[in-house]
Amino acid sequence: MTETTPIDAAHAAMEAAPEDDAARLRFYERLADSELYLMLTQEARDDTVTPDLFDLPEATFALVFDREDRLSGFAGRAVPYAALSGRAIAAMLAGQGIGLGLNLDVAPSAILIPPAAVDWLAATLSASPDEVEERIAEFTRPGDLPEVLLSALDTKLAMSAGLARTAYLVGTVSENGARGHLLAFVDAVEGAQEALAKAAGEALTFSGLDAGVLDVAFFAATDPAAARLARHGLRFDLPEPPAPRRVERIAPGSDPEKPPKLR
């Protein structure tokens, strides 16, 4: 049985509920976060890729697949390709009138994504969070947040391995009495703040909560506020980064079971 990929599942949910904006947004989120195999006209050289473009009556399309075997199954022969994230491909094609042909003829998630949708996706992913200053008077337990947002945050943070130790979702009361929600990262790696803030913003955007606001802040584990975050917040543990593979080099002749080869 062919494995169902995350894109297959998201596409099926979108097709089952064509009027559900949230399901459509989740499909685009999976598309952005997945590694895709982009068919090329020639091997990539010096970080330059040339997509193999196909002209159809609707528009011009670049072909992408979410598994290497699906690409080879479509092409029926060895073809050059580049493995890139969906967000990188959308950014590369945006503004050129090029759509995406996804998994055509080889999967249930086959779909033509028009150029306007590619442009929208690239623009949505390129948005940067606004930086504001606000003094928080109190942390509280988070309010009754939609399950779709909590699930989206869990998925996004699971993809941020090694960028921070933990995150806490808490309610806040500012000094002027305004209430809100804050995603607080503890011990974020230097330089990772922007990526983590964008991940939180995308979780909110692709949850379909147009009127929602989620603030993001960063704390050290030694900060007194960290204890209050742990006391009131919903905790997310970010995965550890994968350990580097250790290659053990054995000197020739040191293993009596494998004597050195002689010429």
Residue 57 is which amino acid? P
Last residue of a domain, one of 77, 103, 126: 126
pLDDT of residue 210: 56
Cross-strand pairs, 234? 169
d(CA 182, CA 214): 6
Chain segment 70-90, per-residue pLDDT in tens:
999 999 988 999 999 999 999
Q: What's the pLDDT at 176?
A: 85
CATH, residue 155: 3.30.300
Q: Which residue range(s) make up the domain with 60?
A: 6-126
Total domains in the fold of the chain: 2
**Same domain (yes/no): 14, 113:** yes
Query: 109 with 199, same domain?
Result: no
Residue 179, judged by CB atoms within 10 A of its CB (0-12, 13-18, 19+), counts as: exposed
Blockwise average pLDDT, block size 10, the chain, 263 residues:
86 94 92 96 85 93 96 92 95 96 96 96 85 81 87 90 93 89 94 92 82 84 93 91 55 50 43
